[in-house]
Amino acid sequence: MKKTPYEVEITEVGPRDGLQAEAHFLPTEQKIELINNLIGAGLRRIEFSSFVSPRAVPQLADAEDVIAGVKRSPDVILTALVPNARGAARAAEAGVDEFVVFVSASESHNRKNVNCSIADSLAGFQNVAGIADEAGIPVRGAIATAFGCPFEGDVPLEQLSDIAMQFRDLGFTGYVLGDTTGMATPPLVSAACSHLSNEVPDMELGLHFHNTRGIGLCNVMAGLEAGIRKYDSSIGGLGGCPFAPAATGNICTEDLVYLLHEMGIETGLDLPKLMEIAQKMEELLGHKLPGQIMKAGLRLDLHPIDAVQAAAG
């Protein structure tokens, strides 16, 4: 594996995918501070919110206010999830840098998630693409439940490539496979990446894993072996899908960065700063987050020998 600096690009999704699973509303000012701190740690692509109905996801009802308060920079891309043309119009008016549209790979989950069929979702993206084109805003696609559906089981690979081809035909710049309920395994990741690289070689692919069953970073390893260099992650391991059973948090940003750095793969991110941000999020949310590195520290963070009691006997 090549070890080129900045080879892997991480998209931080905590402010959107992470916070949407939180029951208590995080004040707008604290969301803005979180995003500014993430930018300060080196992140250059942040999914900061979603322009969904406030009734559907109350936590993200302040999307316009959040982006208005962030310290914008030309080298930082602020992306937002847009479910339909109405959300796209709001996002364009707010000055979002990139749209993300999503559709599930399974009919059952798509109906639970957005209350319509896959075909209807894809048809609706034509309006979103038109709004984006008029505003000069690029669009990326996301395929949820790409590695398995909690209602239907395994997802045929052909379903993934069919959706990806329709994304391409709509003019999207790339797409991401979402492991919405943590059903991915390394063999499934390898098979999906191989299939898609053959069937849709002209579309840039990224991966979005959850750590529901404890192998999120194992799946990243499979993605790296397949040549994928774009990954979504969430600070502290925040997250989970509110429309799927037992869908716990995303893979943790600082844990992912630690893994990549220990492999000699640079990310351009400041790991100690990320750890501080994760610890601060625990304080703000009032509960523990699943991230590990922020608790254990870095591998070579040494301790005084007298800090631990010696064994007796």
Q: 176 with 205: CB under 8 angstroms?
A: yes
Identify whether 241 is a catalytic site residue: yes
For residues 286 and 246, what is the distance between their CA atoms, to the nearest angstrom? 21
Closest CA to 18 of 289, 292, 294, 283: 289
From the list 149, 193, 241, 252, the catalytic residue is 241
* 234 within 8 A of 14, measured Cβ to Cβ: yes
Q: Are 81 and 128 in contact (CB under 8 A)?
A: no
Q: Name every residue whose Cβ is closer than 8 Å to that of residue 241 and which is 6 or more positions away in sequence.
A: 21, 113, 144, 180, 181, 247
- Could you give the CA distance from residue 41 to residue 106 in angstroms, rounded to a whole number? 36
**Element containing residue 32 per DSSP (H, E):** helix 28-40
SS3 track for 152-184: CECCCHHHHHHHHHHHHHCCCCEEEEECCCCCC
Taking the CB of residue 177, how many other CB atoms lie within 10 A of it?
29
Q: Which two tokens stand for residue 260?
A: 């990549």
What are the residues facing 9 on neighbouring strands? 230
- Least Cα distance to 12 among 93, 64, 87, 70 occurs for 70
Helix (H, G, I), strand (E, B) or coil at 47: strand
- Written as one string, the DSSP assignment of 94-159 is HT-SEEEEEEESSHHHHHHHHSS-HHHHHHHHHHHHHHHHHHT--EEEEEETTT-BTTTBS--HHH
> Other C-beta atoms within 10 Å of 27: how many?
10
Catalytic residues: 241
